[in-house]
Amino acid sequence: MARRFGVEGSIIGAAAAGAVALAVAGVLTFTQLSSDTAQAEGVDTGRQKAAQPETRKVDPSIVHASERPGRSLNITIDDGPDPVWTPKVLEVLKKHRVSAVFCMIGPQAKAHPDLVKRVVAAGHRLCDHTISHNTGMDHRPESYQAQQILDAQKMIEDAAGGTRVEYYRAPGGAFTPYSRKLAADHGMRPLGWNIDSKDFEGGSLATIESTVRDELTNGPTVLFHDGGGDRSRTVAALDQLLPELRQQGYGFGFPQR
């Protein structure tokens, strides 16, 4: 019996040792798999973060200066996109190899995403020009200003397929310290102007052209419009002025960010 017990004890002992070994191996395998999974998840998370860059905060002061060194002008186009006039403005800009900033009204961008995408595809930049174009919004509550600015930004970026809006222009220049900071915190540099073509006032082509020429010494950022009415004179003025200004030694760039 003692011998039998010894044999059985040896068998049991060997079985127990095998079980322990298998358990240890299982723990090691599970640990390795968990580590590999965590590493894989870490890589995926990193890729997701890389694919979704954080919003870059910018200077909240109103910019006029050009990114381009030397004698430069920034062409800015407000109040669109418009299905009639925006394509014509794009054609003229392409003809004269000029890039511009398009300051868009949120609902207009939402209604014409094809035009927003055309603007981006042509190498131009986007600007938030609010929802309602309320030139008295500097006298409205901060909650109203935020709704006007941030809702428009989302509409424009959605219409653009995710391309970031890089500037914010208050209607009629109705900036406030709050609206400037809010825009900057959401990656949009407040954008002013130095030269108002007054193309929205219904003046003649000659009047628009002379206004721009007379104000060239004011600074580099020029204001035109592609929305809000008949912009045939705007299109003609751009077609006339852009090559003329280039012959005078001006280049064309974007406002600083």
Distance between CA atoms of residues 229 and 235, nearest Å:
12
Count of beta carbons in the 10 Å neighbourhood of residue 228: 16
Identity of the amino acid at 65 = A
Local structure of residue 159 (DSSP, 8 states): H
Nearest to 160 by CA among 211, 92, 195, 108: 108
Residue 77 CA to its chain's centroid (Å): 16
Whether 225 sits among the annotated catalytic residues: the reply is yes
Whether 199 sits among the annotated catalytic residues: the reply is no
Distance between CA atoms of residues 133 and 107, nearest Å:
11
CA atoms within 13 A on the CB side of 190: 20
Nearest to 236 by CA among 216, 201, 208: 208
Identified catalytic residue from 78, 79, 226, 239: 78
Distance between CA atoms of residues 244 and 257, nearest Å:
27
Identified catalytic residue from 112, 225, 226, 239: 225
- 144 token code pair: 């109203």
Residues designated as active site: 78, 225
